Structure 1
């Protein structure tokens, strides 16, 4: 379990479909609570996973086991492990004994009569099998993506963000707990195919039954939904770039194309390591793995399916022309290595911590390569993708994400905060310190806000609250009064307070509006005021 509570104590004093969003619900079921809440039966700290499975492409069937090493935080006679109800539980073994279990929705409650002792490391081995749900349109819906390449060979991948890792392997399926000591992933596939998973390749073994097992080891903590299977007619190439191992696994007939196209990884790494700190999973290497689906941020094994095109399958999500200069999937999904994989939200209600920062990383990359103006042009182009349909933060404890606005609106909020700070040296130090302080940690919105306020000395809580907890953005109201202009904020947050820059008659000044009307100095008409809406994601009204 990442060190969420320790840092919380330290800080207490101071659109387009890019991933799978949970569908709207009018109410929640017990199944939602079992998945989303940290019940007593989940009060244990996962230390390691050891996953060993066989994948049969013809039958679309998997079988094997996961050995789960954990430390109970209290004495537990029953623990909850998650596995989708369409999958079979073959047996659960502990210390050579088969344990009784019962199933409820996608939860498996495992009984241990003598009790798992508090603070004592223990383990169970969970044997299972079945046909995991098949993704109809990965990665927007989760499951196994059973495809074939143009030569008719199996080309298979997992993509389960939002749906849940327990769609295909048994685990404690909650973002608040990652195995500190990493995991081993062993996947047997038909001879002639390769499996690529997270971490470092440690070897392969011909099992003598028509299958070869491919073994991988992850050193760092890893999100459950990041654990990946990628099966295909892969070839490998790579190099060490400035001390970081870069590995690429592509279909054999795309090798030459990939060698050229993936050169973009180098300037991206230069940019991200400068702005966000050292690549957070250096021990596990960095990989791009070609997939039939568009892409996913699978830790140290980023899924790539953008068809060797610039933009987002050849399109510019910003509508500005800037987004067609670079490969969206390489940049966005790799940005998640820092924001989402290294820094992880404890509840998916706070997934803006993954998606807002990562969408902002797109603009950061543009700025690194082509300058501030293009970076701002790109991020402001994302305004067209904001719906303002519902709050970005979802409901806690029921496995519910908020609005898809977490992507563009989250990024535009960060760009707004950058310009509130109004000092780029301070801004870039803040972002890098944030990334490095919370490296390999679980956080929540409160911790992020506390950090930003503590490091800047600014009262930013109202800003975060307005953009994250309400559907509408603040409106700067300007009205003519007498021979001048009065102004104020119209916002949902009580006593909302945020500076904003304006230009009047060629002279720029910073206003400090509140929710109370104030008068602008001088005889100025509202139509003579130009508000810096390219720096502040706001509306202007009368």
Structure 2
């Protein structure tokens, strides 16, 4: 216990983050770092049991945590956020000692932990969980009512952490291999969670039903969800690259007909994204869209939806191009996370761009698939107006700190620029599909993604990624015209940035490769018209 706290304090005081003006706490480090009490064991399986009392906004239950011992150690960290409390922890029938440091709870194990063994503990807990203030951004449990007065409940917890509503190993680096979820609710309600429904127990005496869900694939903690309402269900089959995929849809009764129309976009999404990214990563667990009382979230195989059954983002085109009204933003964006977030998952939330940049970019790839390359370009260029350039896209490591929200719109434009730079759409598609194959069901780092794309593209992208991910600088291409001569250079760039760019001179397209030094190009005739290809996310500046 003392050792882990001292380590956390050392990390807080280290120069690794001192250059940032953030006041990180011990809790940030215990949540965001791989502590000694985490690193010695590898997650295998969860069985989460939750009894939900909607009238009291109260939950209770337990979680079986099964793990493999990687090296001997006698303390284990479990995470659970107040006001929830751990009631007891049991291993092999014995109640264990627990010491709590805020959200982190350190369990002293009596049984010797021997390398290679598989052991398990059961954590019992209860309480009134944090209520979501502005889900999904400020998450927790949303306790709402539908228009008929029935309970309408859902969880959302990315960033905040799944430990806001259930006890677990709340760090992204270690995904559980599979899990079972058992949720007990009043008998007039239904729970929809991840994976496949394998059974429902009806307790007539208690007037409750328990819904049992099985997740066959690895899943990150924030991807686990419960959604409780008086749902109606309909389904479909998608014939995809790996065969038949079960599609299940759960919505409130008054919205059934609207949902049957709007949710046809699920199959269109799957067709487009299997083309660009490869097979849907969770055939065994199916795919669900579930109506919830907030905008939506990428819960694995249980994508949540609250976009009002209309195209756009709550009816609005975020690009201003018109193309954003050709699709339902939440269906397309949140489902895109099945590839980038749920299949390929960041180890540390500082690398959250891996989720959000690729998935924001997936919106214009969807448009590309159905409406063509011009529509795709107009959309992604249109979203540039939303870029703030207020902080780097990559956040601070080991303290549960994500980077700037520019990971969405700027990240999408970075990837669109990279497509231009590679200048071979088949190669670009093979890279996107290759990422989902190479890192299938894995947690990854930025360096792994950068390295893979550099290797497969055959381009050293070190400076490119440094420029767009690690600074707020937008490359500026300065241009001087004198008769037939064009002089050009980049300013506002990182060291060694020399990205080629397409330009049009007098209607003729050609490539130039600027760097920090002035270079010259001689045209065949006096330069009258000069345009820089706007598909590259750079600024241009004429110099007199």
Q: TM-score, normalised by structure 2?
A: 0.93
Query: Which residue is 1:306 aligned to?
Result: 307
Distance in 1 separating the partners of 2:323 and 2:473:
27
Q: Secondary structure at the match of 1:50?
A: strand
Q: Secondary structure at the match of 1:338?
A: coil
Query: Which residue is 1:61 aligned to?
Result: 58
Distance in 1 separating the partners of 2:311 and 2:393:
29
Query: Which residue is 1:35 aligned to?
Result: 31
Query: Which residue is 2:153 aligned to?
Result: 156
Matched, 1:287 2:295: no
Write out per-residue CA displacement over residues 139-171 of structure 1, whole angstroms, 9 at most, x where no aligned residue. Answer: 121100000000000000000011110000001
Unaligned runs of 5+ in 1: 1-23
Write out per-residue CA displacement over residues 340-378 of structure 1, whole angstroms, 9 at most, x where no aligned residue. Answer: 000001100000000000001100111111111111111
Query: Which residue is 2:13 aligned to?
Result: none
Distance in 2 separating the partners of 1:481 and 1:253:
68
Q: Secondary structure at the match of 1:58?
A: helix
Query: Which residue is 1:209 aligned to?
Result: 206
Distance in 1 separating the partners of 2:82 and 2:151:
26
Matched, 1:221 2:218: yes
Return the offset for 1:31.
0.6
Return the offset for 1:484.
3.0
Query: Which residue is 1:6 aligned to?
Result: none
Distance in 1 separating the partners of 2:437 and 2:419:
18
Return the offset for 1:125.
0.1
* Residues 36-435 of structure 1: pairs in structure 2 closer than 5 A: 36-43=32-39, 44-180=41-177, 182-207=178-203, 208-242=205-239, 243-435=244-436
Q: Secondary structure at the match of 1:382?
A: helix
Q: Secondary structure at the match of 1:449?
A: helix
Query: Which one has more relative contact order, counting CA pairs under 8 Å at least 6 apart?
Result: 1
CA contact (8 A) 1:484 1:523 kept: no
CA contact (8 A) 2:484 2:522 kept: no
Distance in 2 separating the partners of 1:525 and 1:400:
53
CA contact (8 A) 2:507 2:529 kept: no
Return the offset for 1:525.
8.1
Greater CA deviation, 392-401 or 452-461? 452-461
Distance in 2 separating the partners of 1:154 and 1:405:
36
Distance in 2 separating the partners of 1:79 and 1:474:
47
Write out per-residue CA displacement over residues 405-460 of structure 1, whole angstroms, 9 at most, x where no aligned residue. Answer: 00011111110010001111111111111122212111111101110111111111
Return the offset for 1:489.
1.5
Query: Which residue is 2:10 aligned to?
Result: none
Aligned residues: 517
Distance in 1 separating the partners of 2:112 and 2:487:
68
Q: Secondary structure at the match of 2:74?
A: strand
Unaligned runs of 5+ in 2: 1-19
* Residues 513-528 of structure 1: pairs in structure 2 closer than 5 A: 513-522=514-523, 528=529
Write out per-residue CA displacement over residues 503-526 of structure 1, whole angstroms, 9 at most, x where no aligned residue. Answer: 001111100111121112248888
Q: Secondary structure at the match of 2:337?
A: helix
- The verdict on how the C-alpha distance between 1:233 and 1:433 changes in structure 2, with shifts beyond 3 A counting, is same
Distance in 2 separating the partners of 1:386 and 1:526:
33
Q: Secondary structure at the match of 1:217?
A: strand
Distance in 1 separating the partners of 2:21 and 2:192:
36
CA contact (8 A) 1:479 1:526 kept: no
Return the offset for 1:388.
0.7
Write out per-residue CA displacement over residues 166-197 of structure 1, whole angstroms, 9 at most, x where no aligned residue. Answer: 000001101111112x1000000011100000
Write out per-residue CA displacement over residues 220-239 of structure 1, whole angstroms, 9 at most, x where no aligned residue. Answer: 00010010010000011102
- The verdict on how the C-alpha distance between 1:445 and 1:234 changes in structure 2, with shifts beyond 3 A counting, is same
- The verdict on how the C-alpha distance between 1:225 and 1:25 changes in structure 2, with shifts beyond 3 A counting, is farther
- The verdict on how the C-alpha distance between 1:303 and 1:529 changes in structure 2, with shifts beyond 3 A counting, is same
Q: Secondary structure at the match of 1:459?
A: coil
Q: CA RMSD in A?
A: 1.5
Q: Secondary structure at the match of 2:211?
A: strand
Return the offset for 1:241.
2.0
Distance in 2 separating the partners of 1:503 and 1:112:
69
Query: Which residue is 2:479 aligned to?
Result: 478
Distance in 2 separating the partners of 1:427 and 1:524:
35
Greater CA deviation, 371-380 or 489-498? 489-498
Q: Secondary structure at the match of 1:274?
A: helix
Return the offset for 1:210.
1.9
Q: Secondary structure at the match of 2:191?
A: strand
CA contact (8 A) 2:505 2:527 kept: no
- The verdict on how the C-alpha distance between 1:164 and 1:526 changes in structure 2, with shifts beyond 3 A counting, is farther
Distance in 2 separating the partners of 1:378 and 1:162:
28
Distance in 1 separating the partners of 2:171 and 2:259:
35
Return the offset for 1:461.
1.5
Return the offset for 1:482.
8.6
Return the offset for 1:61.
0.4
